């Protein structure tokens, strides 16, 4: 028998985080909005039952929300991140060999438990629930792809009681015949269309597809997915997080930005935040891209999109360096007649690439050490850490902050702020 892998996944994770601290939300339709309160990115079961789709723009579901009294919340990533960490703590008690796959999913190697792994999975599920308050499901399979799919079955079909084991061949066969191919990890819309043209619509049919055909139709990725469905392990549990390759800070603006100054305020804020993230991870970047564009959804507004990339020499994580770089990008890309034409930029972002650990960054020839800069950045981070984000910013970020996003319905940071701790009477 193959070594089993489990995938444990929080149910409607963001909604569940909110419900832990606001039990009155239990049993009610709840949605969590994206940044800027734009669209629904998480939904309770009750909200899903009303037909609210993932990613639905709020303004398009306003009637539905009103009619059914759907509770609407801005996203509170500080809370979700902290709850996620608590879930990982609970999971890590069960196996030293696990991978944090996303904010609400963890792969766990169950091979150390002999034949008892299903009982362990059941225990893990209830322990996570007990220690964090987050309801969750567990899928077990001989590959990551099968574990993901088993998790889907555990969520969808109550007969499994929240734990579905695909290492049982009868369960596996029964489910694969019934699960639409689009639910398989790695099969998106485009691939689904291609597969449909071959008459492949279920997970079982995908499993039975010749691997050479899979390669022809897709890429090595699709071939790997077919192999994994057949129980051939192609993807290992990555318990050591690989070095990340890029990093981005992008935001929609609260108000349209119509002049260079407004765009520069946003880009300054994003570059500053990006520099903070670099320093937090002990990284430096070798390349930076600044972009901004108008609202692509608009059918009537004149469209314009700017993206400029420059090398950072030497590699850096210094706020002033990054802000200077995005300023060069913005000035180089700015349309001289933008204001006259009436371009309304609604989104801006900064992307960093060629990331390297600070200590690995090769010193450039003639590079001059700048200890004062490093000390300044340290002081800046310390001040913002102590007195709250964005207390100390560069002047070019401005005070008007037209780019700042809406978050009108955000819950308190229950677990990470002294002032927001829940009070018990």
DSSP 384: H
> Least separation, in Å, of the C-beta of 194 and DNA?
8
Query: How far is CA 287 from each of CA 117, 231, 243, rounded to the nearest angstrom?
Result: 46, 40, 16
Q: Is 197 near DNA (CB under 7 A)? A: no
- Choosing from 51, 159, 297, 336, the residue that interacts with DNA (CB under 7 A) is 297
Q: Do 119 and 74 form a contact (C-beta atoms < 8 A)?
A: no
Among 43, 71, 144, 347, binds DNA (CB under 7 A): 347
Q: How far apart, in Å, are the Cα atoms of 319 and each of 5, 239, 272?
A: 43, 32, 5
The reply on whether position 202 binds DNA by CB under 7 A is no
The HSE-up count of residue 316 (CA atoms within 13 Å, CB side) is 25
State in angstroms the smallest separation of the CB of 318 from DNA.
Answer: 18
Among 93, 212, 298, 305, binds DNA (CB under 7 A): 298
Which residue from 66, 189, 337, 372 is in contact with DNA, where contact means CB under 7 A?
189
Cβ 289 to DNA, closest distance in Å?
8
CB neighbour class for 295 (10 Å; exposed up to 12, middle 13-18, buried from 19): middle
Least separation, in Å, of the C-beta of 7 and DNA?
9
Does position 148 interact with DNA (CB under 7 A)? The reply is yes
Is 144 a binding residue for DNA by CB under 7 A? The answer is no
- What are 29's two structure tokens? 């339709």
As a whole number of angstroms, the distance between CA 267 and CA 276 comes to 14
Other CB atoms within 10 A of residue 391 CB: 11
Identify the residue whose tokens are 């305020």. 265
How many angstroms separate the CA atoms of 289 and 291, rounded? 7
| Binding status of residue 302 toward DNA by CB under 7 A | no
CA dist 312 and 356 (Å) reads: 12
Q: Which residues lie below 8 Å from residue 115, measured CB to CB, with a gap of 6+?
A: none
> Which of 125, 144, 251, 279 touches DNA (CB under 7 A)?
251
Query: Which residue's CB is nearer to DNA, number 192 or number 411?
Result: 192
Asked if 212 interacts with DNA (CB under 7 A), we say: no
Torsion (CA) 209, 215, 217, 218 in degrees, nearest 10: 120
* 217 near DNA, judged by CB under 7 A: no
C-beta closer to DNA: residue 278 or 338: 278
List the interface residues with DNA, window 52-81 (CB under 7 A).
Answer: 55, 57, 59
The residue among 36 and 167 lying less far from DNA, judged by its C-beta, is: 36
Q: Which of 36, 145, 316, 318 binds DNA (CB under 7 A)?
A: 36
User: CA 212 to CA 79: how far, in whole Å?
Assistant: 46
Task: Kindly list the residues in this chain that would bind DNA in the complex (CB under 7 A).
Answer: 34-36, 38-39, 41, 55, 57, 59, 101-105, 148, 184-192, 219-221, 242, 244-252, 277, 295, 297-298, 309, 346-347, 349, 405
């Amino acid at each position: 028998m193959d070594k089993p892998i489990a995938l444990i996944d929080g149910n409607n994770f963001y909604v569940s985080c909110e419900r832990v601290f606001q039990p009155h939300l239990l049993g009610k339709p709840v949605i969590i909005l994206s940044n800027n309160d734009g669209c629904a990115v998480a939904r309770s079961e009750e909200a899903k039952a009303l037909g609210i789709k993932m990613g639905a723009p709020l303004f398009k579901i306003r009637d539905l929300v009103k009619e059914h009294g759907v509770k609407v919340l801005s996203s509170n990533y500080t809370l979700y991140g902290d709850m996620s960490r608590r879930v990982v703590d609970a999971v890590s008690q069960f196996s030293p060999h696990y991978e944090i796959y996303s904010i609400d999913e963890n792969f766990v190697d169950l091979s150390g438990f002999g034949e008892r792994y299903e009982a362990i999975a059941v225990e893990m599920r209830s322990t996570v629930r007990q220690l964090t308050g987050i309801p969750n499901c567990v899928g077990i399979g001989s590959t990551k792809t099968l574990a993901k799919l088993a998790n889907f079955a555990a969520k969808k079909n109550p007969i499994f009681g929240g734990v579905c084991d695909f290492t049982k061949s009868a369960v596996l066969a029964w489910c694969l015949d019934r699960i639409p191919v689009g639910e398989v990890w790695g099969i998106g819309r485009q691939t689904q269309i291609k597969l449909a043209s071959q008459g492949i619509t279920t997970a079982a049919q995908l499993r039975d597809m010749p691997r050479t055909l899979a390669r022809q139709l897709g890429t090595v990725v699709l071939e790997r997915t077919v192999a994994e469905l057949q129980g051939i392990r192609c993807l290992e549990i990555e318990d050591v997080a690989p070095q990340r390759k890029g990093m981005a800070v992008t935001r929609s603006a609260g108000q349209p930005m119509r002049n260079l100054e407004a765009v520069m305020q946003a880009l300054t804020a994003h570059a500053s935040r990006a520099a903070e993230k670099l320093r937090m991870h002990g990284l430096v970047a070798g390349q930076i891209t600044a972009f901004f564009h108008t609202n692509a959804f608009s059918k009537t507004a004149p469209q314009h999109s700017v993206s400029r990339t420059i090398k950072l020499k030497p590699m850096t994580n210094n706020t002033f360096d990054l802000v200077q770089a995005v300023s060069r990008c913005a000035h180089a890309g700015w349309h001289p007649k933008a204001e006259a034409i009436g371009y309304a930029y609604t989104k801006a972002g900064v992307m960093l690439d060629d990331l390297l650990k600070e200590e690995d960054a090769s010193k450039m020839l003639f590079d001059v050490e700048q200890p004062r800069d490093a000390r300044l950045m340290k002081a800046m981070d310390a001040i913002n850490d102590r007195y709250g984000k964005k207390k100390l910013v560069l002047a070019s970020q401005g005070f008007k902050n037209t780019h700042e996003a809406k978050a009108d319905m955000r819950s308190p940071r229950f677990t990470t702020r002294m002032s927001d701790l829940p009070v018990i009477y």
